[in-house]
Structure 1
Amino acid sequence: MTPSIPELTDRARDVFRNVVQSYLDTGTPVGSRTVSRISGLNLSPASIRNVMQDLEEAGLLAAPHTSAGRVPTESGLRLFVDGMMHAVAPSAQERAALAAGARERGSVEEAIAATTAALSGLSSCAGLVLVPKREPRLRQLGFVPLGRDKALAVLVGEDGSVENRVLDLPGGVAPGALESAANYLSATLGGLTLSQARQRLGRQIADERAELDTATRALVARGLAVWSEDGGRRPVLIVRGQANLIDPQAAADLDKVRGLLDELEGKEEIARLLDSARDGDAARIFIGSENKLFALSGSSVIAQPVRALDGHVVGVVGVIGPTRLNYARVVPMVDFTAATLAPLLA
């Protein structure tokens, strides 16, 4: 059984903290001479070596076959993160870089992607943001014929986003019906969300105020429905900075790197992992095999819920990186990113 912090002697706690911090800084095994040089513990390398042996027997450190030094185990990292880590707030420059991403011009998704990229660059991890499928407000909707029975529906949202869908045309559509349907949608339903537009269309049809023939009315309804159906699909996952996962240490094991990149392609599983962090009040940290998805690649995930002013969760932001990532620096950075994204997602 892994000991708790109070069960460690002061000497063991100090040696352990120095080993972990040195390992997180360098990514390489830490020897007793390194600890004696950087720690100021006033202990000989031999004494430190004995303490490190005790920590290894307790399951907190491990000795790789290729080195006389030690590295923290996943249990050791968990003990350090939960009870010994001193968080470091993002610098003014880091906060400015994250805020600049959130101010990116264009659609909300582009701003989220820019912020995710900034988080990735600053943390040297892959940045992840999970957001609900947003229902756009209509600015304009047009139809482009693709043949006798199909058309391309082009939706322009008020946020500047543009989306295309191919839809089947109902029977009996006259040549001018596509233009009539587009004009009606843009003039009568502009500024509404898709669900609001469908509700208004239904009321106008019921009140016989929709000046459309039966075929054109069916086309309008189908044009709205093709987007509304997306609302029930899984949330949108944005991933940026996968290249950061291939560092010199990771590159030594190409199978792990390849496996990790494959796992990132399985976005549904990652979305489920991030979604599990929605109920927390603060960041959740998954270290290595604590999560089955990244057990083989030996990766850690930090995930933080994004909350609106009223407290409800509007998304999840996080990073994935090697287990040796700088938790003390990255956890507060993820927290700041969540606060930065909250106004965009509310």
Structure 2
Amino acid sequence: MQLEPRAQTLLKALVERYIADGQPVGSRALSKISGLDVSPATIRNIMADLEEMGYVSSPHTSAGRIPTPRGYRLFVDTLLTVQHLNEHTVDAQQMRLPQQQPQKLIANAAQMLSSLSQFAGVVQSPRRESVFQQIEFLRLSEKRILLVIVDPRGDVQNRLLLTDVDYTPSQLVQSANYLNQNFAGLTFDQVRTRLGSELRQLRDDMGRLMAVAVEAGSEAMAEGDDMVISGERNLLSVSDLSSNMTSLRQMFDMFEQKTGLMQLLDVSSKAGGVQIFIGGESKLVPMDEMSVVTAPYEVNGRIVGTLGVIGPTRMAYERVIPIVDITAKLLSNALSQS
């Protein structure tokens, strides 16, 4: 629903004041800070309309109002004036991301997000392409085989295979040679597709081993995805997030389990650009009082991960958005050159 200009002005003033001091905002205060030349009665009527539409609410303990998740959403989507980081800040942050190992860049970017925002910074590690350069089978014991996968960067993943057949060392070498000679450099999905038509031409036992290896290899490569979180302790000083044991438990469950946060970052990478997930409206955010501002980052023009700031719903979005945006750009540049 499109708000008329006076209602937009009042909602913007209310959200900005509430973000600044965390106290419900009354009509008298809005009259002073909004700059509108209208009567207090008019302001009260407009605020009553905003409350009826679900953009603000009235806590029981105060006559003032606070923004709802819907009000925050309208604010960040249409009313927000984003600040720009000055050149000195950008240059200083660029110096914190020199050319170095990718994992070090990821950790530095998470620390940068945390220190600039004073909240928690999170960076999803670049997703692995499930491509293998070489596969090897090592017989550990009867019906127990270690699958060794080497990717194009030289990283190694291991997976234990429990088989129905006791394969001989020569069978294992033969199977590995077949996969390496015919499929090296392909993704496991591509191998699965091509093997489907070729397995019928192979001996049954060998074919089953290769099929199991492809499935296990795909899972092993997917498990390489992870994230780096920095500044979780900053959130302990945010009363909105740490005011009671339930909130603290929800917050640290999120950091410990990571699965929900990883899902949120995955969704963000598909949307492109800066995304804002507001607690109370997004099922991906575990707490009503929490928001996550994210942006994807790239390597050589291809999106490989997402980073962001985790903080209270009552955060200064106009300041956090450019922090997330410029960090994504700086990390993209550094990774593309490393």
Q: Could you state the TM-score of these two structures normalised by the residue count of structure 2? A: 0.67
Structure 1 residue 150 displacement after superposition:
1.2
Equivalent position SS for 2:167 = coil
Structure 2 matches for 1:28-43, cutoff 5 A?
28-29=23-24
Structure 2 matches for 1:282-321, cutoff 5 A?
282-294=273-285, 296-306=287-297, 315-321=305-311
Equivalent position SS for 2:129 = coil
| Partner residue, 2:81 | 86
Q: Which amino acid aligns with 2:185?
A: L
Specify whether residues 321 and 171 from structure 1 end up closer, same or farther in structure 2 by C-alpha distance, changes over 3 A only.
same
Contact between 1:256 and 1:297, CA under 8 Å: does it hold in 2? no
Structure 1 residue 324 displacement after superposition:
0.8
Q: Which amino acid aligns with 1:298?
A: E
Equivalent position SS for 1:294 = coil
Q: 1:119 aligns with which of 98, 109, 113?
A: 113
Q: Which amino acid aligns with 2:78?
A: G
1:216-271 Cα offsets, whole Å, 9 max, x none, are 8986775455213557x699463624444433312212212322443556655555
Greater shift after overlay, 47-56 or 85-94? 47-56
Specify whether residues 89 and 150 from structure 1 end up closer, same or farther in structure 2 by C-alpha distance, changes over 3 A only.
farther
Contact between 2:97 and 2:330, CA under 8 Å: does it hold in 1? no
2 CA distance for matches of 1:216 and 1:259?
48
Q: 1:259 aligns with which of 250, 256, 265?
A: 250
| Partner residue, 2:7 | 8
Structure 1 residue 111 displacement after superposition:
4.6
| Partner residue, 1:192 | 185
Equivalent position SS for 2:291 = strand
Q: Which amino acid aligns with 1:166?
A: L
Contact between 1:298 and 1:322, CA under 8 Å: does it hold in 2? yes
Structure 1 residue 165 displacement after superposition:
0.8
2 CA distance for matches of 1:98 and 1:253?
38
Q: Which amino acid aligns with 2:293?
A: I
| Partner residue, 1:154 | 148
The unaligned stretches of length 5 or more in structure 1 are: none
2 CA distance for matches of 1:7 and 1:26?
23
Contact between 1:4 and 1:79, CA under 8 Å: does it hold in 2? no
| Partner residue, 1:240 | 229
Structure 1 residue 17 displacement after superposition:
4.0
Q: CA RMSD in A?
A: 5.1
Q: 1:105 aligns with which of 101, 106, 111?
A: 101
1 CA distance for matches of 2:324 and 2:262?
17
2 CA distance for matches of 1:296 and 1:217?
48
Specify whether residues 130 and 284 from structure 1 end up closer, same or farther in structure 2 by C-alpha distance, changes over 3 A only.
farther
| Partner residue, 1:174 | 168
Contact between 1:16 and 1:55, CA under 8 Å: does it hold in 2? no
2 CA distance for matches of 1:322 and 1:133?
31
Q: Which amino acid aligns with 1:228?
A: S
Contact between 1:288 and 1:323, CA under 8 Å: does it hold in 2? yes
Structure 2 matches for 1:129-144, cutoff 5 A?
129=124, 133-138=128-133, 141-144=135-138
The unaligned stretches of length 5 or more in structure 2 are: none
Figure out how many residues of one structure are paired with residues of the other and give that number: 325
2 CA distance for matches of 1:105 and 1:143?
30
